[in-house]
Amino acid sequence: MPIIKCGRDRTEKRGEKMEEIFQKAQALEKQAWKVVEETNLLDIWQSVGATINAVGSLKMGLLMNHRDIDFHIYTDPFILSESFSAIARLAENPRIRTINYANLLDAEDKCIEWHAFYEVREGELWQIDMIHILSDSPYAGHFEKVAERISQVLTPKTRQAVLCIKDAMPKDKKVMGIEIYQAVIRDGVRDITSFWQWKEKNSSGGIITWMP
């Protein structure tokens, strides 16, 4: 009688998949910081007297499929021309393909939004979000605290769930990272199917200020 060789069980395959996802996240984080270095981003903003803080997925080590780099920037006093001056220096980098600007100084946010797109190689763009925030904005310093708190409370299981959901997210779906963190950390969501069910009941049209 021929010997039947059993295939690897689901647990082993799941473990290999998770190892791939963790390696992917680490590689993306490394690439992101390389983009920051190649654009000279920190020095550019510091040259106009700014404090520049990494926030979001990059700060928490939770980058996955969306190549977004988020920074919050503060100057005292706030001088609009200095913000433009910093961006003008950034635009001198030949790999910066597009820069978008939004003035929200008179909105609740009290900030200037800059969105730059850096081409690592043909067809591969990193989005660099630079939010220049007034010191009296209700969000000044808030998302730095959010990133710190999430980093503190993440466990191996919740980190795995966050990265799995992000990895399974269709490219054409725009979902805020904070929604995924809230669903996983606060409400115990562990997979993409459960996340969509969660989102239907917890949709938000504005800025989410949740913090664990």
What does the pLDDT look like over 195-205, one tens digit per residue? 999 999 987 77
Q: Considering the chain, what is the average pLDDT of its residues?
A: 91
Compute the distance between CA of residue 88 and CA of residue 118 in angstroms, rounded to an integer. 14
Structure tokens that stand for 114 in this block: 């800059």
79 pLDDT more than 60: yes
**Predicted confidence (pLDDT) at residue 117 exceeds the cutoff of 60:** yes
Confidence of residue 35 (pLDDT cuts 50, 70, 90): very high
Domain coordinates in residue numbering, the chain: 12-201
List the structure tokens of 83.
């913000």
Question: How far, in Å, CA of 97 to CA of 116, rounded?
Answer: 8
Identify the pLDDT of residue 4.
33
Q: Predicted confidence band at 11 (pLDDT cuts at 50, 70, 90)?
A: low
Cis geometry, peptide bond prior to residue 170 (ω within 30 degrees of 0): no
The three-class DSSP label of residue 205 is coil
Q: What is the pLDDT of residues 19-31, one digit of tens each?
A: 899 999 999 999 9
Question: Which superfamily is assigned to 12-201 in CATH?
Answer: Beta Polymerase, domain 2 (3.30.460.10)
- The pTM for the full model equals 0.88
Are 123 and 105 spatial neighbours (Cβ–Cβ below 8 Å)?
A: no
Q: What is the pLDDT of residue 6?
A: 32
| Pick from 3-7, 137-141, 188-192: least confident | 3-7
Strand 96-104 to 68-74 pairing: unpaired
| Cβ atoms of 161 and 145 closer than 8 Å | no
